[in-house]
Amino acid sequence: MGDRNLEAIPERKEQFYEGKAKKLYATSNPDLIIQYFKDDATAFNAKKRGTIEDKGVMNNRMSELFFTMLEQHGVKTHFVRRIDDRQMLCKRLDIVPVETVVRNIVAGSLAKRLGRQEGETLKHPFVEFYYKSDPLDDPLIYPEHAVAFGWATEAELAEIRKMALRVNELLTGFLDKRGVLLVDFKLEFGRHHGEILLGDEICPDTCRFWDKETRQKLDKDRFRRDLGGVEEAYHEMLRRVEG
């Protein structure tokens, strides 16, 4: 990891993508990009919009900490180094248009879809795949769909599933020591010179975090459900992650 921190920062070039929470910039090194974290908050595929003060700063820092921990345990990611409060240097990925969700506890769409009680602990974690498409509201898909439509190969999906469960194992243990339940989370993967790497971010935008004792929500559900205390929840998660 030390070598990464000495990585020279290439010149930032044109913006080539803007999503709900981040902007991506090309750099003078074609293998590297700069990921800029915004304070914009969205829910329900951008049907609800708002701002969470300093969210980008906190998510950048949390993502750095999580990616660093995962890399130390053998999970290969796009993370190179954090540049400043809002910018992260990353390897450029050809994103696989399949979002990967790992679930440990019933919540969100799973509770609604199957009529289960939110908070029910699953007997074992499982992986779901969703087609990455805002116009279609990211529909749940079978792995066969991804293969049939050329979004990923069977081998890539097997690797993604294996990596996702390993990330779950590592994050669950890490967070348990900090009094946090990892309810579920979304991951994105991409190809870098033919190798599958973990990309995007890991933060309260992409994960459901609950306090282990009170089950108080410490994530973007506070924004989605108008529960209040959104900034406070993000700050609390950063405090716990930094330990």
Domain boundary among 66, 93, 120: 93
19 plus 61 within the same structural domain: yes
> Which residue is listed with tokens 């950048």?
60
* Euclidean distance between CA atoms 126 and 103, whole angstroms: 6
Question: pTM for this structure?
Answer: 0.94
Question: CA triplet 215, 137, 109: central angle to 5 degrees?
Answer: 25
Q: Which two tokens stand for residue 128?
A: 């779901």
So what's the pLDDT on residue 47?
73
So what's the pLDDT on residue 7?
62
Q: Lowest-confidence range among 43-57, 123-137, 181-195, 202-216?
A: 43-57
Residue 74 — left, alpha, or beta (φ > 0 → left; ψ -120 to 50 → alpha)?
left
Domain boundary among 58, 93, 128: 93
109 plus 58 within the same structural domain: no
Find, among 98, 88, 81, the residue nearest to 153 by Cα.
98
Q: What is the DSSP letter of 119?
A: T
> Which residue is listed with tokens 């870098």?
192
103 plus 219 within the same structural domain: yes
126 plus 60 within the same structural domain: no
Sheet arrangement for strand 12-18: 12-18, 22-27, 32-37, 87-91, 79-82
On whether residue 224 sits in a domain, the answer given is yes
Number of domains in the chain: 2
* Euclidean distance between CA atoms 84 and 69, whole angstroms: 19
151 plus 218 within the same structural domain: yes
156 plus 89 within the same structural domain: no
pLDDT digits (tens, 9 = 90+) for 88-140: 999 999 999 999 999 999 999 999 999 999 999 999 999 999 999 999 999 99
Range of the domain at 182: 95-229
Domain boundary among 40, 72, 93: 93
36: Cα within 13 Å, side-chain hemisphere: 15
**CATH code at 131?**
3.30.470.20
Indicate if the pLDDT at residue 1 is higher than 70.
no
85 plus 144 within the same structural domain: no
CB 160, CB 75: distance < 8 Å: no
On whether residue 242 sits in a domain, the answer given is no
On whether residue 238 sits in a domain, the answer given is no
